[in-house]
Chains A and B, each alone.
Chain A
Amino acid sequence: MSLIRLSSPHVFKANTSAAVMQQVLLATLPAIFAMTLFFGWGTLIQITLAMLLALSFEAICLLLRKRSLRFFLTDGSALVTAVLLGLAIPPFAPWWVMAVGIFSAIVLAKHLYGGLGNNPFNPAMVAYALLLISFPVEMTRWTLPFVIQGDGWQVASFADTLRLIFMGMEPVWLDTLTGATPLDVLKNRGGMTTEEVWRSSAVLSQGVFAWYAVSGAYLMGGIYLLYRKIFTWHAPVAMLATLFIMASLVYGIDPYNYADPFVHLGVGATMMGAFFIATDPVSCATSNKGKIIFGIGAGLLVYIIRTWGNYPDAVAFAILLMNLAAPFIDLYTQPRSYGHARARVGIKDKG
Chain B
Amino acid sequence: MMVKVYNFHGGIHPPDNKKHSTRSPIRPAPLPDRLILPLQQHIGHPATPLVAVGDCVLKGQKIAEPAGRISAAVHAPTSGRISYIGPHPIPHASGLEADTIVLDSDGKDEWITHQPISDYRQMKKSELIDFIREAGIAGLGGAGFPTDVKLHLGDDHIVNTLIINAAECEPYITADDMLLRERADQVLSGIEILAHLLQPSHILIGIEDNKAHAIRSLSDALQQTQLKTKLNIDLVVVPTKYPSGGEKQLIKLLTNVEVPSGKIPADVGIVCQNVGTAAAIHRAVHLGEPLISRIVTVTGEAVGHPQNLEVLIGTPFETLLQASEVDHNRLFRLVMGGPMMGISVENDQIPVIKTTNCIIAATYDEMPPAPPAQPCIRCGMCEQVCPAELLPQQLYWFAKGREFDKARHHNLFDCIECGACAYVCPSSIPLVQHYRFAKSEIRNEEAEQKKADHARIRFEARQARLERELAEKEQKRKERAEAAAKQQLLRQRAEDAKPAAEQSNEAELKQLKTAAAIARTKLKKARDALKNAEDKGQEGIEKMQETVKDLELKAEQAHNAWISAGGEDPAAKASPSIQQETESL
Binding site for B on A (CB under 8 A): 1-13, 15-17, 19-20, 71, 75, 77, 115-118, 229-232, 281-282, 284, 286-288, 330, 334-341, 344, 346-349
Contacts and interface: CB of A to CB of B under 8 A. Distances in A.
B409 A15 contact: no
A230 B342 CA distance: 29
A288 B335 CA distance: 35
Contact of B346 (A5, A8, A230, A334): A5
A339 B263 contact: yes
B88 to A, nearest CB: 16
Contacts of B377: 17, 20, 77, 116-117, 281-282
Contacts of B432: 7-9
A32 to B, nearest CB: 23
B259 A5 contact: no
A13 B423 contact: yes
A118 B374 CA distance: 12
A212 B362 CA distance: 54
Contact of B380 (A15, A19, A71, A286): A286
A115 B375 contact: yes
Contact of A337 (B261, B362, B406): B261
B16 to A, nearest CB: 11
B343 interface: yes
B135 interface: no
B45 interface: no
Dominant SS at the B interface? loop
Contact of A344 (B367, B411, B417, B425): B411
A185 B95 CA distance: 71
A52 B261 CA distance: 52
Contacts of B95: 5
A341 B414 CA distance: 13
B410 A232 contact: no
Contact of A232 (B260, B384, B391): B384
A230 to B, nearest CB: 8
A77 B375 CA distance: 11
Contacts of B422: 9, 12
A6 B344 contact: yes
Interface string B354-373: 00000010100001011110
B339 A9 contact: yes
A22 to B, nearest CB: 11
Dominant SS at the A interface? loop
B163 to A, nearest CB: 16
A232 B381 CA distance: 9
B120 interface: no
A348 to B, nearest CB: 6
A283 to B, nearest CB: 9
A344 B395 CA distance: 14
10 contacts: A3-B346, A3-B347, A4-B332, A4-B333, A8-B341, A17-B374, A117-B427, A282-B377, A339-B260, A347-B406
A14 B120 CA distance: 53
Contacts of B370: 6, 12
Contacts of A344: 409-411
Given A11-B14, A11-B339, A335-B389, A340 B411 contact: yes
A124 B261 CA distance: 42
Interface residues on B, range: 35 or more
A2 B394 contact: no
Given A4-B332, A7-B430, A286 B344 contact: no
Interface string B326-358: 001001111101011111111110000000000
A300 B436 CA distance: 41
Contact of A2 (B347, B389, B426): B347
Contact of A8 (B12, B372, B419): B419
Contacts of B333: 3-4, 6, 10
B391 A334 contact: yes
A338 B9 contact: yes
A157 B363 CA distance: 57
Contacts of A71: 372, 374
Contacts of B259: 339
B384 A10 contact: no
A16 B422 CA distance: 12
A170 to B, nearest CB: 41
B391 A3 contact: no
B374 A5 contact: no
**Which of B8, B367, B436 has the most chain A CB atoms closer than 10 A to its own CB?**
B367
Contacts of A231: 379-380
Contact of B344 (A4, A116, A284): A4
B287 interface: no
B252 interface: yes
Contacts of A284: 378
A287 B383 contact: yes
Given A10-B367, A334-B391, A286 B378 contact: yes
Interface string B123-146: 000000000000000000000000
A330 B394 contact: yes
B24 interface: no
A77 B379 CA distance: 13
Contacts of B308: none
Contacts of A118: 375
Contacts of A336: 389
A6 B335 CA distance: 9
Given A7-B432, A9-B423, A340-B414, 6 more contacts: A8-B432, A9-B432, A16-B427, A284-B378, A286-B391, A337-B261
